[in-house]
Each structure stands twice: as structure tokens, then as C-alpha cells.
Structure 1
Amino acid sequence: MAHTEKSIIGIQTPLGEDELILTGFSGNEGISSLYEFNLEMVSENNSIVFEDIIGKPVAVTVNLTSGGKRYFHGVVAFFSQGEGLPNPDGPLHLTTYSAKMVPWLWLLTKTVNSRIFQQKSVPDIIETIFKEKGLVDFEMRLQNTYSPRTYCVQYQETDFHFVSRLLEEEGISYFFDHMEDKHKLILSDNRAEHKPCENQDTVRYHSSSDGYAEEDTISKFHMSKEITFGKYAAKDFNFEISNNDLQSEVKGKETLGPGDRELYRYPGGYDSSKRGEDLANLRMEVEEARVTRVEGSGNCRDFVSGHTFNLEEYYRSDMNKEYLLLTVSHEAKEPIGYAAGKTGVDAPSYNNAFTCLPSEVPYRPPLDTSKPVIYGSQTAIVVGPEGDEIYTDEHGRVKVQFHWDREGKMNEDSSCWVRVSQAWAGTRWGAMFIPRINQEVIVQFIEGDPDRPIITGRVYHGQNPPPYTLPDEKTKSTIMSNSTPGGGGSNEIRFEDSAGDEEIFVHAQMNMNSVVEANKTLEVGADRTTHVAGNFEETIDGNETRTVGGSVEETINGSETRKISGSVDETISGGETRTISGGLDETISGGETRTVNGNQTKTITGSKTETVVGGITVNTPATYEVTATGGLTMTAPAGVTVNAPGGYTLVAPGGNNTVDSWFQSIGGKNEDFFSIVNQATGMKNEMVGMANCFTNAKIDLAGFVFDRAAVKNDEGPVNIKQIATQMATGTATVLDFALTMIGL
């Protein structure tokens, strides 16, 4: 059994010529959709090897009225052997076979993947997928510019689903061109790429067309219009844009129906105002393409979806114009025996049904392919450049490696920057804990969108155990960091909630700084211990008040230096004992006033030297007594004045006074001297109105001239009176003063 010149349909397979005879086919094709044709065949071979044809390319041919051929090319995705039939052309029985023919793009429905694309445009992503699968028969006829997508995820979806979704989002349609040996996928974003049907750019309307006729015509042609959305609006959010005004809207050109009939979408799927405007226009074009729709049928064998034709001779003249074919359903039959000229055999037939729209209306594929939604949470591992421990950007975002990602290299290229949820997030205030490399984090997806991950938590795992051994340390709660790079240290705030041992523990690996802008109150119920291994420095700009209910004990192993710019006021209710093992050096720039309500005793085991630049004044209502066991020496180059209104007593038994170049005037005084031996060399006494009483006195005057003018001397025992209890100041001795009074 073989094809003849009378055959109107045929098939070419890798099995060889006429191994399979096509008796009919039916199927659908459409813009931005996969075509599928069901083939009915017979063969004299009842044992065709399935592997020889399934997955292989085949071509269906349809003879045209012009003498040419129309091809439907594809891949056999399904092959089935049926029942046997009598062979009208010979003694052998025929075996029926059926097959399903699809485009190579259909093969992508059989590959499910999860992967991440970064910094690639949609055309680049699609080309990558096609070439990875060895699919090279495609052509991109694109006029628009497509910016790279920062982050684009294929998640648990077939390659075909993923590709279709991206094309719909960008407003790119596709269709197929068929040839004898292949079919080519055409991707287009403009009307100019929809070419006229190759052999039927103009078609006549004829209402009675049916079956296989000598002329291809359209027999049914019905136009309809419907009210759809008249306005598209969308809004989205981009945290990097200051005002976050990512709202876009556009009104349609069609004016059917009242009101705006707005279609509002959130999220709009864009991150900039320009992108939002472009997408709004695309979505509005999708809706406007729904307004007018034409359904028709006929026998135009060269009708191909994605191509155009001109309608002629339609009874409504305003509908005689160019149309774009959106879908075409084909059906062809050629009964067995027709090609061989058998009588009683039905004639072959070909019919189709189609939908189209006026070609001046831009066609955009609708968003029919849903985007995967990730429900719930996932976990991922924080990653970054080799050698780094913390890898982040100015927003505190990190990179992660998802467990499902087989292509990631566990480095900074494994994902986009992923935002991190914090306990607080204000304007330069809030909490900040940056996940570190190799930590496991909990990831959720905003609106369930795989392209919008966000980190909402962290979890421990086998390689990153908790900071304390559990369940032994289950009463502890802590925030513990880790020194970086290299580790080995930590800062920590820990809470111990074990009953009776409650504790708050704070550990600083190096420095700890505390800033209190106003007041600070610290209340300690029991003891407080502070240990400073180094130096301790405290600055108080205001006053300091300390109240110690008990004693204060201070031990200073080294020196102590105190600088007080103002005064010091100390009140000691009890006694004060100070022991200074070394020396004491005090410098007082101003005056010093001390009030001792009781007695004061000073014991100096060594000597004492006092230097007073401004003079010394001692006032005491009681007796002032100086005891100098080793003698008393007073030096007064400017002279000595003793004022003793109550008199004075000078007692110097056995004393010996020596006066050198000394002059003394005494007036209005009555002095007694006794038991005194005076030696005066080169001395002159002038006594005016002075009475001296000498009793039992012996005066040796060698070369002495004594002028007794107006002087009366009473001889008798010498009584030396001590004045002011030996001079209250301690700077003049009683003996010296007595000598002055007698002029010696």
C-alpha cells in the first residue's frame, strides 16, 4: 500500500517511505501555545518498533490547490498500535497506528527544575534554557530592549511553564513556522513579524465552502465584541526608593461600556516607575485584545496561527480587512482505498476553524501561566566569598544558598541580596544582627513570590550547635556573639533563670562602653565587687556625694595624687588616725585655717623646720608653753618686740648671756634680775629715767664708763621677772629679753 498522486495528505517518518500511511489527522495550533496533532495511520507492518519512531521528527503534508504543499512538522510524543484491518489493496491485513505530534518546545514540559538566574534578561534566560536542551531551531524577532532581571527564580516548574510565564510577563508572543524537515519557533514582540500566510494572504468569503474544494474559502465568519477592563492600575514596593511611589496606571483606547472598569494589581511585579509604566501598557493591550474577537471556519489549508490574511467579499464591507490568526483547528481525512481509486470510498476532506482579530490591534499573550507560590518557610545557608565570615551590603542583606539549588557554588553568586528581618528597624536606630556565613536561616517569600525572599529567622543545626550544652543548660537564655575573623572570643548577655541562682551575666571580650545621657541609678541589694586589672579613671563634671553606712577601708599600694580646684570640707564625727610611712609634703597656695575643739598633740621623732614668709601669729587665751630640752635658739635680724602688759618673768639660773654689738632702749619699765652673770664687751647702755635695783650684785667693770646722770640704782638681790610666760610666740627666749632690759 502506498501513496498515490490522488492522495491529499501524507506523512514522512524515519521508518521509510510508505511504511506508515496517513489516513487522517486533527489538531490545534495557536499563538503562544503548543500545537498538538493526532495522527491516524495504517501499515502493512504489524510489528513496528516503537523506539524507531517515538521521539523522532515527522512531517505531515497537505496538498494545496495551488499545487504546493503545506507542512506540519513536529516530534512524535505518543505512538500506539491498534487493531488489524482488511487490506483493500492486497492479501495482507493492515494494522492501525496512532500518534501524537508536538513541537520540540513540548519536550520542555517534561523537565521540572528549580534554579536561579541572576542579571539576565528574559531573552537571555530563554536562550540559555533552549541551548542547554539542545534546541536550536528558534528565532527571536524582538524590537524592544529587555533589561536584565536582578533575580529570577524557576521554582518547581517545568521549563516550558517557566519560559511561558516569562514570555507572558514581557508581552512576547511566539508561533511556529513549519518546513519539510523542521519547524522553527518564532518569538515576537511587534505586529510587523506576523507575516501573511504564505499561499493564502487573501481569502474570499463563501458561505457554502465544505470539504475538499478546488478553492480555499472562508464559509463562516462571526465577529463579536465584549466589554472588558478599561483601565489598568498597579502598585508595588521597592525598599531602596525613598518615596516608594511605585504606582502606575493607563487607560485603554476602547470606550465600550460606562466607567473606568479598573483592573488593579498588587504587587505589580516591577521595581521602578518606568518598568511599571511599561508593564501597565502591556497589560492594557492584553485586555484590549479581548474586546474584538472573530470566529470562523472554512477549508483554507494554509492557515497558520501567528500569520495574517485579508478577507474579501464579506457581506459587511467594514469587516473586509486584514486579520491575525490566533488559533487554528485542523481536521483532514483520507479514507483507505481512496488513493487507490476504490469505489464506494468517501472523498477526502479538510476543514478548519479559527479565531482571529483585526491585525491593527496589538496582540499580547495573556497572563495565563501562573507564577509559583511558595507557601510557608524554607531554610537556607548563608554564603559569601571564600575566606570571609561576614558578607553584607549597606542594607544589611546577605547571600544564601537554598537547599534545592543544584547550581549554586556556595559563594557570593548563589543568590541575590536577601533582606534580613530585625527585631527593630528605624531610621538609624533599631536592632542589627547580621547573619554570618555558614549559619542556617529561615527564609520566607513576600506574597509567596520566589523572586522576593526575605530572612525571618535563624536556626541551629548539626555543625552550628547552641552556645550551651542542652538540655543541661536549659535554664540559660543568652545573646552571645563571636569574634571575627577567626573566632576565639565573644561578647555576651546571659540570663540564668534557675530558681535561687538567677543571674544576669554580661561579658565584653575587649572594651565595654556605657553612655547615659541623663541619670543612672544603681541599686545593689547585697555586696558589690569591682575588680579593675589596669587603671581606673573617673571624671565627674558636677558634684559627688557618697554615703557609707559602715566603715570605709581603702588600700593604695602605690602613690596617691589628688588635685582639688576648690575647697575641701571634711567632717569627722569620730577620731581620725593617719599613719604615713613615708614623708608628707603639703603645698597650700591659699590660706589654711584649722579649728581643733579639743586638744592637739603632735609628736615629731625627728626635727621640724618651718618657713613662714608672711609672719606667724599665735593667739591663745590660755598659757603658751614651749619646752626645748636641747636649748632654744631664736634668730631675729629685724629685732624682737615683746609686749607683755601683765609683766614677764625671766628665770635663768646659772645662765650665761653674751651680747655682741647690741643696743637696747628701755622706758617705763620696772625689771628685776637676780643671780645673773652678764658679760658685755664694747657695750653702751643709755638709761634715762630708769631705776635698777641690784642686791648682792657683783659687777666687774673693766674699762667701763658708767654715766649715772638722772639714774637711780637700788642695790639688792636681783629678781628677774619672766614676761608673758617666756614670750607666747616662742621666737625670743626669756633670757634674751632680760638681758635687753638691763642693757647687757
Structure 2
Amino acid sequence: MNHIDVRLACEPLEGCVVLELLGREAMDALSSWEVVVTIPGEVDLAALLRAPATLAIIDPAEGSARLVRLLIIEASFDLRHGRDRVCALRLSDPPWLLTQRGGYRVFVEKTTEQIVTEVLTGAGIPATAIEPRLASAYPLRAQCVQYAEAEWAFVERLLADEGISYWFETTPEGEHLIVFGDGTESHDGIEGGVTLPYAGPTGTELSSRALFSLEWEERVVTDRVTVRDFDVRHPGVYVDGHAGEGELGWLEYPAGVTTLEAATARAERRLEQLQRDRVTVTGESDCSRLKPGRIVEIAGAELFEQRMLITEVSHRFARPLPDGGRAVPYGNRITLRPTRSSDSGDLPPYRPALRPAPAVEHLDSAVITGPPGEEIHVDDLGRVKLRFLWDRAGIQDDRSSHWTRCLQLPVGASMFLPRVGWEVTVGYLDGSPDRPFVLGRVYNATAVAPYPLPAASATTSFQSWTTPKSGMTQEIKMVDDAGRQEFFVHASRDFSVKVGGSETIRVDGDEEHFVGLSLTSEVLGSHFAGIAAMQTVDVGQEMLLSVEGSNQELIGGAELVNVTGNRAVLADSACVEVIGAGYTLLCNQSNVHTAGACTRVVLGTTSLTGGLGVTESVAAARTYVCRGSRTITCSGYAESVLGGKRSKVGAVNERAAGNVGVEASSGSITAGTVEIHAGGKVSISAPMVTIDVTGSIEAGTLKLGGGKLTTSGSMTEVSGGTTTRSGGGKVGG
């Protein structure tokens, strides 16, 4: 049988001859080829690096040629064969260049397929070179971060996380193709017919390509998987998914899912991934048509007679050298994945192995973002948007990230929400770069502390800016500098304090209140105000004090009420004034109106002085009880009593500088002793005057006029002076 030949086509290596070939191809991995070639003449190693090359494995017996599109990534040479140079080359697939590109990147609300396509096309791989063969639908990733990892490692990690395999193909035109698949239906059969016979160890002499050896291997693997996650929208219910039964369980947390359906699907894929190596078949052949990602059906071996997926192929080839070096005909060693187990049970689809995700064990800095013009941008859970300092995408608004939770103080329902433009420190939940959370704010040269430092290093401040930005702030500040300690509270507008129980405020120094508008104080219970020194209340306009119950004022010293205008005291019921010492009322005019009874008890002295006049009008009876002396001094005194008047005193002493007149239709004076002293005359005018005395009447001049004078008694004696009677009538009895 004709031997298989290997050739390499590369523009800088024109005319080269392949001497040796070692290659490894596998699903979910970049291929690695080591090729030794001879080159006539000079060679430019720099021109070789990154040069595209096509490896051709030519089988004259089958009339086939397998093409593999590659890229030279390493080259060296020596002069072992005269003038011909020997070059040792290492080649890989064109996406290998993505292993040399890396960094940080944020993807928001995109599927894995969309993210991978964006990364590949961004690296220069045309969209026509990407062929997805996916049977399942995959959910959007709220936030997916490439964190300090190569672009190809990031692509492999995302595909493995979803259970999506990839492999490479080369079209008949020599174009490179990346294929994605998630099931057996995604794979084509090998070219030239899907069946390959098993010939055994002696099959190398057959006229057709075949398998020479086969080995079946089974392993103990995980048989049960549980995935779990936490949904911030439903914190009381875990998002769990289960697959498989058995004692060898595997738990994945966090699973990166938010629904039970997605959790179940992920658990099933995880179980398939963990069981990917449960059954493997290895073999050797001389068939160059075997390549990863293709299906081959084995014939001629009872246990192996089924369709199998080729997962790995290792190639070897050596050309005879002029110096007699040993030739190695082309051959390969393959790894297969059966579709059925040894007990004829169906095996699940082949899945890639999980790739480790970067674990962030440090803090990052980020800037809060939001729509243009907004100063605060949060959702109903108080989450914010971020732009990481390492993010070079240039997105400055709310599209920069998914919603990110903010750490709050553990003091009940606290709420400190960062503002747009703030620089904040960011941690990562479970170390996952996809799950950042804001820890707190940090200052920089643009966003400085509210007070100059280090001068105000002993100041603690909680300050917030009014929004939209107006320059006003609200603040709680504590100054701890010795000798000028201060606790400062500032409200830019309204200030409300609600105390559920008791409140005690103690001020050892001065306290000052300034209210620009009205002040309302409502006390549902008792109100006590104790003032050790003087109290001053200055009311610019009217003052109203309304007391629904009793009102009592106790004054230890003097009381002065100075009213510039009128003063009225209205009592709907009784009015009682009890004065232990003197009582002085001095006013231009005084009106006291009492609808009911009015009682005034003065235990000491009462002085009533009217600068103009004093008028007292009583519609009903008036009783005046004075247990001590009573003095009325006035320029004129008038008293009008419509009904009867009765005065009962121990002694009466009335002195008038002018006339004293008493007019009444009837009346009587009853007293033990009555003395009337007048500087002038005393006149008594009445239709009839009766003076009933047991003693004597003494006067300088006693004039009787009008009617008759009647005396009764045992004796009437007139002595001294002159007795004059004017008018008619008789004297005597």
C-alpha cells in the first residue's frame, strides 16, 4: 500500500520538505504541531512567525488529502545538511493568537454565543469563520466579565460553563472554521465514509485504512449533581436544580441561574460534564481522515461496533533521511467517546471539562455611572451602575454595567446610596468578577473630603448634597478637637424628630432657638418648665394663651403687667383673687366685667387709685367685707344705689374737705358710735329726719328748717350758745 505523505505550504518556506511531524488535535483545545522541514537557501525567522501555513496529509491509496489550516508560532534552524537549512517549527490554530491577547472587559445582558462571537470578531476572525451548531437556547448573562485572562481562555471558560464544545475544521478551499456544538447531532461523520474497519495488530498489511488496536476503559465518576443560587428578587427561596441519583454527589454554588428551569438544565449539563470520561476508547490507525469533532463507526469488533465521537487525535510521521535515518510511516492514536456503554445504555452527549474561573481576592475601584444629567441613579433595590477603572470600552453612562448591590451599615434600615461620579471600592461575592458589590466611597483629588485635611482630622461628618445640585447640604458633624468639641446637625429644609418613648435633653450651658416663621408646640399631657433665673418672653404681635382647664400662676416675688393698650379679663364663671399683701391697681381706665359672681379677698392692704375716674356698677347685690381698715381718698366720690344699701361697720370716720351729701328716698344708719367731722357745715335734707340717740347732740350752730322739730324723751335740754328756729311750727313735745 502506498505510504501517506505530509507536506507544508507556507510562503516564506517555499520549497520546503517535511522531515518529521508530531501533532495533537483535540476537541475543546488548540492543536499543537511540531514540524521539521528542510529549506533550500536562506530563511528569515522573523518572517516565519505568525505566517499562515497549510499542512496537507496526502493518502494516495484513498485518493484523499486532509488539509489543516495553521499558524506558525515558533521557529528555529540549524545547518545539519550542508547548504540546506533545517527548521523546527511549532504551529497551532489561528485563534492561538487570542492566547496572547488579554485583559478586562464587561458584557451586559448578552448570551454566551453573542459574547464569544463578539470576542472572536473583535480579534479579527471573520463571522463567516464561526459556525454555531447549537440545539439548546441559552439565557442572557446579566453581567459577564473577562477578568485578567487571555481572550481565548475567556472564550473556553464561557463555552465550558454552558457545556458547549468547540473544534476546528478546514474547508476544501483551505479556510479555517470554528465550530460550536452541544449534542451528538452537531457532529458530522468522517469524510470518505463514516465506517472504519478494525483489522487487529496484523492489519497493517491490508489494502485499506483501518484500526489496528482498540481499548475500552471505564471509570468511577460523579453520579449526582445539585446546583444552587440566590435570587435577590426572591431571597426567601433558593434556586436549586438536581440531576442524577447516587451517593457521589457534587454541589455547585453559585450556579449563575435565577429560575428553577435554568437550574435544572444546568444540573443536567454539569452531570454530563462530570461523566464525560466515564467510558473512553483508545486506538491506533493509519487513517488520515480521522479528526476531532467527527463521528466514526467501527466495524469488525463486537464491543466496539457502534458510532463513536472522535475527541482527540495524535499524529506521527518521519521521512527517511539521506544519512540513513529511520523512517516512520504516518500513523495516529485516537481517543473515542462511545454513544453506548458496555451494558448497551445510552451515554449522554459529550461535554467539555469545566475551566477554572478567575477568583478575585482583592478590591477594585470603580466610578458610579448613570444616564446623562442624573445625579442619583438606582433601582428599587438601591443598586447602582459601575464603570471599572480598568474598563477601556469608553462607556460613561448607565450601560457600563449591570445593577450592582451596595453594602449598607448593619443598623436596621440604613440607606447610603452612592451618587453618580463617585469613586467607590468594589468587592466580589464569592470572588466572582461577575458579582461585584459596592463597599464604600473613596476620595481623590477631584472629589475631596468636605473639610480640609489634615487640619480637620478630628472631624467626623455624614454629609449629603441636595439634588439637583444646588450647593446645599444636610449634615451630621462631630468635632472632637479638645476644647472646641461640637455636635452639629444641619437640615437644608425640613427637620423632623420622632421619639416613641421619653426624651431627655440636658444642656449644661446656654441654649438658643431661632425660628424664622411659626413655632407650634403641642403637649397632650402635662407641661412643666422650671426656670431658676429670669425668663423673658418677647412677642412682637399678639399673644394668645388658651387653657381648657384651670390656670394657676405662682409668683414668689413681685409681678408687673405692663399693658400699653387695653387689658380685659373675662371670666365666664367665678373670679377669685387672693392677695396676701398689698394690692395696687394703677391705670388710666379700668373696666371689670363679671357675668357671674366676683369675689375678691384681700388679707392685707388694697389700694385703688384712679387717675381719671373709678366707676363701679353692680346690677345686683354687692357685698363688701373689710375686716381691717378701708381708706378711699379722691377729689370727688359718687355712689349710686338703685336698690337698698346697707353698711355695717364697727366705726365710721368720713372726712371731706368740701361738702358731703347723702341722698336717699329712705335709709338708716345703725352704729355704736358715729362721728362726723367737717371743716364747714353738715347738711341733712329730707322730708323727715329722725335722730334717735340716748346721749347728746353737740354742735356749734344747729339749724333746723322746714317742718316741725319733735323731741321725745323725759327731758330736752338746750344749753349754751344760741338756738334759732326758722319757719313756723312749735318746739316741744
TM-score (norm 2): 0.83
Provide the rounded CA distance (Å) in 1 between the counterparts of 2:35 and 2:210. Answer: 25
**CA, structure 1 residues 622+292, in 2 after alignment: closer, same or farther (shift >3 Å)?**
same
> Unaligned stretches of 5+ in structure 2?
340-345, 587-609, 719-733
Letter in 2 for 1:432: M
**CA, structure 1 residues 66+611, in 2 after alignment: closer, same or farther (shift >3 Å)?**
farther
> Counting strand residues as a fraction of each chain, which structure ranks higher?
2
Which residue of the other structure, out of 619, 624, 632, is the alignment partner of 1:618? 624
Structure 2 residue 512 is the aligned partner of structure 1 residue 529? yes
Structure 2 residue 349 is the aligned partner of structure 1 residue 363? yes
Structure 2 residue 165 is the aligned partner of structure 1 residue 165? no
**CA, structure 1 residues 605+198, in 2 after alignment: closer, same or farther (shift >3 Å)?**
same
Q: Mapping of 1:400-419 within 5 angstroms?
A: 400-419=386-405
Q: Secondary structure at the match of 1:146?
A: coil
Provide the rounded CA distance (Å) in 2 between the counterparts of 1:643 and 1:633. Answer: 13
Letter in 2 for 1:481: S
Provide the rounded CA distance (Å) in 1 between the counterparts of 2:178 and 2:170. Answer: 9
Provide the rounded CA distance (Å) in 1 between the counterparts of 2:44 and 2:488. Answer: 82
The equivalent residue for 1:453 is 436
Provide the rounded CA distance (Å) in 2 between the counterparts of 1:613 and 1:546. Answer: 42
Structure 2 residue 127 is the aligned partner of structure 1 residue 121? no
Shift of 1:104: 1.8
The equivalent residue for 2:370 is 384
Letter in 1 for 2:623: T
**Contact 1:14 1:53 (8 Å CA) reproduced:** no
The equivalent residue for 1:566 is 549
| Number of equivalenced pairs | 678
Letter in 2 for 1:105: P
**CA, structure 1 residues 592+209, in 2 after alignment: closer, same or farther (shift >3 Å)?**
farther
Q: Mapping of 1:269-668 within 5 angstroms?
A: 269-314=256-301, 317-335=302-320, 349-359=329-339, 360-424=346-410, 426=412, 429=413, 431-603=414-586, 604-610=610-616, 612=618, 615-634=621-640, 636=642, 639-642=643-646, 644=648, 664=666
**Contact 2:652 2:675 (8 Å CA) reproduced:** no
- The range that moved more, 227-236 or 503-512, is 503-512
Provide the rounded CA distance (Å) in 2 between the counterparts of 1:206 and 1:450. Answer: 53
**Contact 1:494 1:506 (8 Å CA) reproduced:** yes
Letter in 1 for 2:141: R
Provide the rounded CA distance (Å) in 2 between the counterparts of 1:442 and 1:500. Answer: 35
**CA, structure 1 residues 336+640, in 2 after alignment: closer, same or farther (shift >3 Å)?**
same
Provide the rounded CA distance (Å) in 2 between the counterparts of 1:234 and 1:164. Answer: 21
Once the two structures are superposed, what CA deviation does each residue of 1:386-438 show, in whole Å capped at 9, x if it has no partner?
Answer: 22222212222222211110003222111222211111264xx2x22111122
**Contact 1:27 1:330 (8 Å CA) reproduced:** yes
Structure 2 residue 55 is the aligned partner of structure 1 residue 59? yes
Moved over 6 A (4+): 344-348, 645-654, 656-659, 665-676, 711-718
**CA, structure 1 residues 490+347, in 2 after alignment: closer, same or farther (shift >3 Å)?**
closer
Provide the rounded CA distance (Å) in 2 between the counterparts of 1:161 and 1:491. Answer: 49
Q: Secondary structure at the match of 1:144?
A: coil
Provide the rounded CA distance (Å) in 2 between the counterparts of 1:171 and 1:544. Answer: 75
Letter in 1 for 2:184: R
Shift of 1:27: 0.6
The equivalent residue for 2:239 is 246
Q: Secondary structure at the match of 2:578?
A: coil
Letter in 2 for 1:219: F
**CA, structure 1 residues 585+641, in 2 after alignment: closer, same or farther (shift >3 Å)?**
closer
Q: Secondary structure at the match of 1:277?
A: helix
**CA, structure 1 residues 17+6, in 2 after alignment: closer, same or farther (shift >3 Å)?**
farther
Provide the rounded CA distance (Å) in 2 between the counterparts of 1:717 and 1:352. Answer: 178
Shift of 1:324: 0.9
Shift of 1:72: 2.2
Shift of 1:669: 12
Shift of 1:668: 12
Structure 2 residue 224 is the aligned partner of structure 1 residue 231? yes
Shift of 1:333: 3.0
Shift of 1:613: 5.4
Letter in 2 for 1:642: R
Structure 2 residue 133 is the aligned partner of structure 1 residue 147? no
Structure 2 residue 93 is the aligned partner of structure 1 residue 110? no
Provide the rounded CA distance (Å) in 1 between the counterparts of 2:197 and 2:354. Answer: 34
Q: Secondary structure at the match of 1:595?
A: strand
Higher relative contact order (CA 8 A, sep 6+): 1
**CA, structure 1 residues 391+651, in 2 after alignment: closer, same or farther (shift >3 Å)?**
closer
> Unaligned stretches of 5+ in structure 1?
87-92, 253-258, 719-744
Shift of 1:658: 9.8
Shift of 1:222: 0.9
The equivalent residue for 2:180 is 187
Letter in 2 for 1:144: S
Shift of 1:633: 4.0
